[in-house]
Structure 1
Amino acid sequence: MGTSLAQWGPEMKLHLGCGSRILEGFINVDARLSGNVMVDDVKTLSLFKLGSVDLIYACHVLEHVCRHERSSVLDRWCGILKLGAVLRVAVPDFEKVIHLYQDGVPLENLIGFLYGGQDYDLNFHHYCWDFQSLERDLKNAGFTSV
């Protein structure tokens, strides 16, 4: 079925890589069509104009982007956000994964954080961050308050 941009009012909030988790009040974007999901590539977000988005929520999406494309993806996300808008991003924290392992959590319980679920073609992780490296990548893309 999908959804269209025409139904959205003045505030545009994107939920990227939503899968089956539909958030009320958001344009739910995913590479795979299901329910009220807008199909678009989260790397390009070709359906959205520069300076048109109020908020991007990308929870466990960025690590699915090829490491060589991460800078251009963050540049694009920064570009479609309005001045002063917000990016909420969550990625697996490599430092925390290491600490869990050192604290005795079995490796097989941590593999998904590093490599993704791998239950379909797009569910693979291509990069990982700790806070400092994510902060660096975000600032390089033009985000100012990290």
Structure 2
Amino acid sequence: MRKLNLGCGGNILQGWENHDIDIDITKPLPYEDNTIDLIFAEHVVEHTDSPTALRFFDECFRILKKGGVARIAVPSVSRIFLYADKEYLEWLCKSGLGQPTMNSAIRNIVLNHGHKSCWTGEILHALLFAAGFENIEPHFAGHSLRHELNDIEGHGKVIGDHNNKIETIIMEAVK
């Protein structure tokens, strides 16, 4: 089974091909068509604009085998708006990322961290659909119906599981 972890940062997964800046997701991916079983991209596509993200999803679709799965995690403006609680807002403030207010939380996820696009579950779902994916389903960090995709996220180790659940949306999409 061939598994790619793209934009991995420090989240090195055993048994996966882990790539960070050595593979530029804004360009065609250096793999043959229909050769990859699983793709994981956590908190990476928000560092591109939406058209580039769609082209990346097109590339994921191209290189995945039929039945292959892409697991994509992005920060969600709508999840932050709906679920940010006192603990999350205080964490933002203590981390020097803004005031402990909802508008500061939204501004942080849009304006900081090198983000170039805003995401919601609906936008992520729509762009994966536009790339040709089927059976597009939301998931929580650490949970998947496929055992190879359980407990692979690293973002919660950086910002804490509680904060990660608030700000991250994950979709799995099948070719």
**Equivalent residue for 1:64, pick from 34, 37, 47:** 47
Structure 1, gaps ≥5 residues long: 1-10, 32-38, 118-123
Partner of 2:57: 74
Partner of 1:54: 37
Q: Does 1:42 align with 2:38?
A: no
Say if 1:69 and 1:25 are closer, same or farther in 2 by CA, change over 3 A. Answer: same
Query: For 2:5, what is the secondary structure of its paired residue?
Result: strand
Q: How many percent identity over aligned positions?
A: 33
Partner of 1:145: 135
Say if 1:17 and 1:116 are closer, same or farther in 2 by CA, change over 3 A. Answer: farther
Q: Does 1:127 align with 2:117?
A: yes
Partner of 2:109: 113
Contact 1:30–1:42 (8 Å) recurs in 2: no
Q: Which has the higher contact order (CA 8 A, sep 6+)?
A: 2
Counterpart code for 1:138: L
Question: By how many angstroms is 1:43 displaced?
Answer: 2.8
The 2-side partners of 1:90 and 1:116 are apart by 17
Question: By how many angstroms is 1:46 displaced?
Answer: 3.3
Query: For 1:69, what is the secondary structure of its paired residue?
Result: helix
Query: For 1:91, what is the secondary structure of its paired residue?
Result: strand
The 2-side partners of 1:61 and 1:94 are apart by 15
Moved >4 Å (runs of 4+): 107-112
Counterpart code for 1:128: C
Contact 2:48–2:116 (8 Å) recurs in 1: yes
- What is the count of residue pairs matched by the alignment? 122
Question: By how many angstroms is 1:54 displaced?
Answer: 0.5
CA-to-aligned-CA distance 1:18-60 (integer Å, 9 cap, x gap): 11221100000111xxxxxxx2112335321111110001111
The 1-side partners of 2:54 and 2:67 are apart by 20
Contact 2:47–2:115 (8 Å) recurs in 1: yes
Query: For 2:70, what is the secondary structure of its paired residue?
Result: strand
Question: By how many angstroms is 1:111 displaced?
Answer: 4.7
Partner of 1:35: none
Question: Cα RMSD (Å) of the superposition?
Answer: 2.0
Relative to its length, the structure with more helix (as a share) is 2
Structure 2, gaps ≥5 residues long: 90-99, 137-175
The 1-side partners of 2:55 and 2:28 are apart by 12
Counterpart code for 2:49: C
Q: TM-score w.r.t. structure 2 length?
A: 0.63
